[in-house]
Chains A and B, each alone.
Chain A
Amino acid sequence: MNHWIIVPIILPAILAPFIVLAARHHIGIQRAFSVAGVLALIAISTGLAWQAADGTITLYQTGDWAAPFGIVLVGDRLSTMMVLLTSVLALFVLLYAIGSKWDERGRHFHALFQFQLMGILGAFLTGDLFNLFVFFEVLLIASYGLMIHSGGDQRLRAGVQYVLYNLLGSTLFLFALGSIYAETGTLNMADLAVRVAEVGPEATVGIRVAAVLLLMVFAIKAALAPLHFWLPSSYSEAPGPVAALFAIMTKVGAYAIIRVYTMIFHPELEVTMGLHDAWLLPAALVSLVIGMVGVLAAKHLDRLVAFSVIGSMGMVMVAISLMSEAGIAAALYYIIHSTLAAAALFLIVDLVKTGRAGLTLVAAPPVSGAALTAGLFFVAAIAMAGLPPLSGFVGKLLILEASFSTDMAVWVWAIILSSSLIAVVGFARAGSVVFWKGQSVEYEEDAVLPDAPSTLAYAAVGGLVAMLIAHTIFAGHMHDYMQVMAEQLFAPVDYISTVVETPGKMSTTKEGH
C-alpha cells in the first residue's frame, strides 16, 4: 500500500504542534516551516493528482482495516484536484500573511493555519461520512481561531455568530449521520451507495429525511440561501488572509454535495428524486441573486466581496443542481475560478485597508500604492463578475451551455445574465469610488500616508491573479479534464468496487466483508 495519500493530512498535523511547541517565540522559524510545509504539500498533491489523472482510484485503508469497518481515504480525480487547489491557494495566502505581517498581529497563526489545512485536505480525501464530520470539525475549530486572530470587538462578535452557526450545522450533521446509520448500518460512502440502492420502496422515510438533512448541512457550508447568513459578517470581519483561505471552505460544502449526491443519492435514485431540481436549483438561483444584489448594495468593500462569494457559490450550485456530466464539469471549472478570484479579492481588500481610513464605500484620499492595487482589483473584479476575457466568463458560458437543454433553461439564463449585470455595476461602482473618486478629494499634502504594502504581499496577490489568467488560457485543457472527472463521478462503479472489495487485515476472502 502506497502511503503518499495520507501525507497531506499527516504533514500539517505534525507541523502544527511542532510550531506551537518548538517555535513558539520565533516567528522566523514558524514562517520557514509553514512555507516549507505548504511547498511540500504542493509537491505531494501534484503527484497525487498526476497519479489520479488516468482514472486510477487510490485507496488507503487506515490501520489496514478493510472498508466498511476501517476508515478509508480515497484519491480519485476530484479529490486530488481539490487537494492540489487547496495547497496552491494556501501557498499564496501564506505568502501574503507573511508579507503583510498579519501573522505577527496575534499568536499561533501558523499553527492554526496548518490545522486548518489538515481539516480541509482530510475532508477532501476521506471516504467515510463520519470521518468527514470529524475533519469538518478540525477545519472549523482551526477556523474559529483564525477568524478571531488579532482580536478586536467587532471581530470577536462576528466570531461568536460564526461559531454558533457552525455549531448548529455540526449538530444537524450528526442528526443526519444518526439517521443514515439507523437506516443502513454503515457510514462508509461506497458501502452506503450499495446499501441505499437496496433500500426497499416501502421503507424510504428515514433515508429521505437523512438525504435532506445532509443536503442542508452541506448547504450551510456552501452558504446557500437561505442558509447563508453566517457568511457576510464573518468573512468581512476575518483578517484578510484568513478570509482568502476561507474561500476554499465554501467549496468544501460544494465538494461534499457533488460527492454524496453523485455517488450515494445519485440523480436516478428513486428515493431522492426531485431533491436537486425541485429544491437545490431554486435555492441556488436565489443565492445567486442575493449575492449579486448584495454586491451592489454593500456599503463596505469587504462586505461587497463577501456577497460576491455568496453569488459565486450560487453560480456553482446552479451548475451542480443540473446533475448532468456537463453541469458538474462546468461547476468544477467554476469552483477553481471562484476560489482563486475570491481569495484574490479578499487579499486586495486587505491591501486597500492598509492604506485607507476604513473600507466604507465613500470617496477618501488616495490609498498608498493605489495604482497597483487598483489594477489588481480591476482584474480580479472582472474575473469575479464574469466579464470576458477572464475565466469567470468562460465558466459562466459553460454553465449556460450545460443548462441549455434543461426545462429550467429560461430561469437559469435569465437569472445568471441579469445578476451578472448587477454584479458588474456593483464592482464598477465600488472600484470607481475607492480608487478613482479618491483622486479628487482634497487632503493635506503633508499628511503622512501609511506605508505601501510590501512587495511580497503584492507578489502573493499577483500570483493568484496569474493563476486566474492561466486558468483562462488553459481553459480547454482544464475543461477536458473536468469532463473526464465528471464522467468518473457519474460512473462510480470503480470507486465503489475499489473501496468495498479490497481486502484488509483479518478479512477472509468474501466473508470478511
Chain B
Amino acid sequence: MELLVATAIGILTAGGIYLVLRLRTFPVILGVSLLTYAVNVFLFASGRLTIGASPILIDGVETYTDPLPQALVLTAIVISFGMTAVVVMIALGAYLGSNDDYVDDPDDAALAAEDAK
C-alpha cells in the first residue's frame, strides 16, 4: 500500500511540475491543481497508513489512525479549492482583457502602450 500511495504522489507531482512549467495559463492551473492533489495525499499519508482503524479512543482497541492529518488535509483542501477558484477568475479576466493567456512578463512595448493610455 505504501508503494502504491508513494507512486501516486510521485506521478501527480511530476505531472504537476511539468504542467506548471508551461507558458499558458490553462495548463499551469491544471498543474497547480495536480500538485495540490499530490500534497493532499501526502499530508494524509504523513500520519502513517492504516486501514480500518479508529481515529477516536475506544475501550479495548489497540491500533488507532492519527486523526490530525485528516483535519490538516481538510483545511488544505478547502484552501486550495478556494485559491484555484480565485486564480481561474483572475486568469480569465487577464485573458479577456489582453487577448492572450501567456503567464510570462509583458515586454517593454506592452508596458509603454499601457503607459500611453
Q: Which residues of A approach B to under 8 Å, CB–CB?
A: 130, 134, 137, 140-141, 144, 148, 151-154, 156-157, 159-161, 163-164, 167-168, 170-171, 174-175, 177-179, 181-182, 185, 233, 299-300, 357-360
Contact = CB atoms under 8 A, between A and B. Distances in A.
A167 B83 contact: yes
B87 A167 contact: yes
Contact of A148 (B47, B66, B90, B106): B90
Given A141-B83, A151-B97, A178-B69, 13 more contacts: A134-B75, A144-B86, A152-B114, A157-B97, A157-B98, A163-B86, A174-B42, A178-B39, A181-B68, A182-B46, A182-B47, A358-B112, A360-B112
Interface string B63-106: 00010110010011001101110110011011001100001111
Contacts of A300: 111
A159 B68 CA distance: 34
Given A164-B28, A171-B36, A358-B116, A179 B46 contact: yes
Lowest 5 CB-CB distances: which A-B pairs, in order?
A358-B115, A156-B94, A153-B97, A182-B46, A178-B46
Contacts, number: 114
B110 interface: yes
Nearest to A136: B79
A419 B97 CA distance: 39
Interface of B: 20, 25, 28-29, 32, 35-36, 39-40, 42-43, 45-48, 66, 68-69, 72, 75-76, 79-80, 82-84, 86-87, 90-91, 93-94, 97-98, 103-106, 108, 110-112, 114-116
A140 B91 CA distance: 16
A177 to B, nearest CB: 7
Q: Which of B32, B45, B83, B112 has the most CB of A within 10 A?
A: B83
B94 A170 contact: no
Given A160-B87, A167-B87, A181 B97 contact: no
Nearest to B102: A157
Contact of A174 (B32, B76, B108): B76
Q: Chain B: interface secondary structure? A: helix
A181 B43 CA distance: 9
A168 B106 CA distance: 21
B90 A144 contact: yes
A344 to B, nearest CB: 23
B83 A177 contact: no
Q: Chain A: interface secondary structure? A: helix
A163 B91 CA distance: 9
Contacts of A359: 115
28 contacts: A130-B75, A134-B75, A137-B79, A140-B83, A151-B93, A152-B114, A153-B98, A154-B98, A154-B110, A160-B103, A163-B87, A163-B90, A167-B84, A168-B20, A168-B32, A170-B79, A170-B80, A171-B36, A174-B43, A179-B46, A181-B47, A181-B72, A182-B45, A182-B46, A300-B111, A357-B115, A358-B116, A360-B112
Contacts of A299: 108
A325 B82 CA distance: 41
B73 to A, nearest CB: 9
Contacts of A360: 111-112, 115
Given A148-B90, A164-B103, A170-B83, A153 B43 contact: no
Nearest to B76: A174
Contact of A160 (B36, B43, B75, B94): B94
Q: Which of A137, A167, A182 has the most CB of B within 10 A?
A: A167
Nearest to A162: B90
A154 B36 contact: no
Contacts of A179: 46
Given A153-B114, A360-B115, A163 B83 contact: yes
Contacts of B76: 174
A488 B97 CA distance: 52
A168 B93 contact: no
Contacts of A170: 79-80, 83
B43 A178 contact: yes
Nearest to A236: B111
A177 B83 CA distance: 19
Contact of B35 (A153, A156, A168): A168
B114 A137 contact: no
B45 to A, nearest CB: 8
Contacts of A156: 90, 93-94, 97-98
A352 to B, nearest CB: 12
Nearest to A302: B111
Nearest to A175: B39
Contacts of B90: 144, 148, 156, 159-160, 163
A374 to B, nearest CB: 20
